[in-house]
């Protein structure tokens, strides 16, 4: 059984707001956004996130580092996923994918 706390679009909005609004930016928000964007490829287009919020989220996400990800997210991954998702290369890939998706969304007019 699968239980969702948020519908995908609401989860994306919450994670983008968290990237911008947290006192200390968390790598888990990038991890979660990457998962949402992979699972629901069109989800960002279903939101009405203002470009200024997207820009602030990109700036905050850009500050995150692999050591932060390694210390705050990797320990919580299932053992079999650590070798796949816990490496510096995996972090760099997901980090760049999320930033690129948020930047692309900034160029789409909000209705």
What pLDDT, on a 0 to 100 scale, did the predictor assign at position 107? 86
pLDDT tens string, the chain, 111 residues long: the values are 455 566 899 999 999 999 998 888 899 999 999 999 999 999 998 898 999 999 999 999 999 999 999 999 999 999 999 999 999 999 999 999 999 999 999 988 766
Asked if residue 39 lies in contact with residue 15, where contact means CB atoms within 8 angstroms, the answer is no
- Rounded CA-CA distance 79/44 in Å is 30
pLDDT at 109: 72
**pLDDT at residue 99, rounded to an integer:** 97
Query: What per-residue confidence (pLDDT) applies to 92?
Result: 98
């Amino acid at each position: 059984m699968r239980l969702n706390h948020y519908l995908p679009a609401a989860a994306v909005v919450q994670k983008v707001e968290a990237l911008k609004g947290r006192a200390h930016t968390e790598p888990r928000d990038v991890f979660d956004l990457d998962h949402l964007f992979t699972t629901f490829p069109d989800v960002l287009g279903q939101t009405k996130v203002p470009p200024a919020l997207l820009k602030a989220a990109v700036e905050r996400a850009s500050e995150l580092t692999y050591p932060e990800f390694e210390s705050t997210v990797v320990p919580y991954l299932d053992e079999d996923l650590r070798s796949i998702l816990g490496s510096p290369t995996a972090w760099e890939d997901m980090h760049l994918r999320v930033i690129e998706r948020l930047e692309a969304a900034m160029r789409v007019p909000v209705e």
